[in-house]
Amino acid sequence: MNSMADAKPGLVTGSRGGYRWLTTGQHDLHTLIERCPQIVTGKYLAVTSQDSGPLALTEEEKLVGWQSRNEIAYSPKVQSPLAIRHGACGGFDEWYVFNSPRDLGKIWGDNVFEAPIKPEELCVFVNFGGFELHNPESESLTSIFWKQLDWIQPESYIADGYSFLTFVTRN
Residue 12 lies inside a defined structural domain of this protein: no
pLDDT at 33 over 50: yes
Q: What domain count does the chain have?
A: 1
**Domain of 23?**
17-169
Phi, psi of 12 (to 5 degrees): -125, 135
Instruction: State pTM to two decimals.
Output: 0.90
The secondary structure element, H or E, covering residue 142 is helix 139-152
Q: How do residues 113-140 score in pLDDT, each as one tens digit? A: 777 778 888 999 998 876 889 888 888 8
Residue 4 lies inside a defined structural domain of this protein: no
Residues 6+ apart with CB under 8 A from 145: 123, 125, 131, 133
Contact between residue 127 and residue 163 where contact means Cβ atoms under 8 Å apart: no
Residue 154 lies inside a defined structural domain of this protein: yes
Q: How do residues 134-161 score in pLDDT, each as one tens digit? A: 888 888 889 999 999 999 999 999 999 8
Rounded CA-CA distance 113/99 in Å is 31
Instruction: Dihedral sign for Cα 74, 64, 86, 38, please.
Output: positive
The secondary structure element, H or E, covering residue 45 is strand 44-49
Residue 109 lies inside a defined structural domain of this protein: yes
pLDDT of residue 3: 35
